[in-house]
Structure 1
Amino acid sequence: MALANLLLALACTVSSAIAFSGDMTYYDPEGAPGACGGRHLGSDKVVSVPFSHYGNCPNPNNCPSCGKTMRIHCNGKTTTAKVVDNCEVCAGDIDFTKAVFSNLADLDFGRVQVTWEWA
């Protein structure tokens, strides 16, 4: 399993001219309100980003990241997700719903390196 994780991590970081890289994890928002407003489920293609990408936006109507779409690349696959929340513990990583994560990697991995850019 360790070798499989390493190979997947290496495959997921190979991409061209990408602005950001880090680990992706997943969560289930369970209909709770996000920092951008609105409620989402694990079946929605949404993302919670670290403050370094979200910014200091106490009012979601003034936050430029809210509603933005990002393209995520891993293992030769690409998908998109819409920013709906900030992630206080993510540092440079991004936290997706299971719907997004499973488009790129098996949920059993739990944490995978990816690259992404704003769409």
Structure 2
Amino acid sequence: MFRSTIISTVLATTYFGTAAAFIGDATLFRPAIGACGAVSVDSDSVVALSPSQYANGTHCLQHILVHANGRTVDAIVVDLCPDCGSGSIALSPSAFFKLAPIDTGTGIIHVTWEFE
């Protein structure tokens, strides 16, 4: 059990220079009034973080860079994604479709991301 926990942690986080990059899945969500108190709409490039990365609001309104399919998008943390596992995020339509311009029907893309 202890060994699998260590392996999961190593796989969830890799390091590029001094910034930690997280690996996970991104899903699509419709923003409104987020857990950070900001009001957002579909055309805003915003993100909801998993409980472990949200860290009780520590990263509210911080920018992250999200990478997938050879593309990168800058998104602002505005919400908590309670169903997201560590490293996974939920993106607004604006951010999601910049990374996955063709909807594959799954509504999920594999991403890496880091705090700016």
Q: Which bracket does the TM-score occupy, shorter chain normalised?
A: 0.7 to 0.9
Pair 1:94-2:89 in alignment: yes
More strand by share: 2
Match of 1:69 among 63, 73, 82: 63
Residue 103 of structure 2 corresponds to which residue in structure 1? 108
In the TM superposition, what are the counterparts of 1:18-97 in structure 2 within 5 Å? 19-29=21-31, 32-55=32-55, 57=56, 63-92=57-86, 93-97=88-92
Residue 117 of structure 1 corresponds to which residue in structure 2? 114
TM-score in terms of structure 1 length: 0.74
**SS state of the match for residue 73, structure 2?**
strand
- Provide runs of 4+ in structure 1 moved above 2 Å: none
Question: In angstroms, what is the RMSD of aligned CA positions?
Answer: 1.5
Distance 1:35 1:85 in 2: 5
Unaligned 5+ runs, structure 1: 1-15, 58-62
Distance 2:48 2:84 in 1: 9
Distance 2:68 2:38 in 1: 28
Q: Is the 8 A contact 1:98 1:107 kept in 2?
A: no
Percent identity of the aligned residues?
Answer: 40
Deviation, structure 1 residue 91 = 1.3
Distance 1:82 1:117 in 2: 12
Q: Which structure is richer in relative contact order (CA contacts within 8 A, separation 6 or more)?
A: 1
TM-score in terms of structure 2 length: 0.76
Distance 1:37 1:107 in 2: 31
Distance 1:45 1:84 in 2: 10
Unaligned 5+ runs, structure 2: 1-14
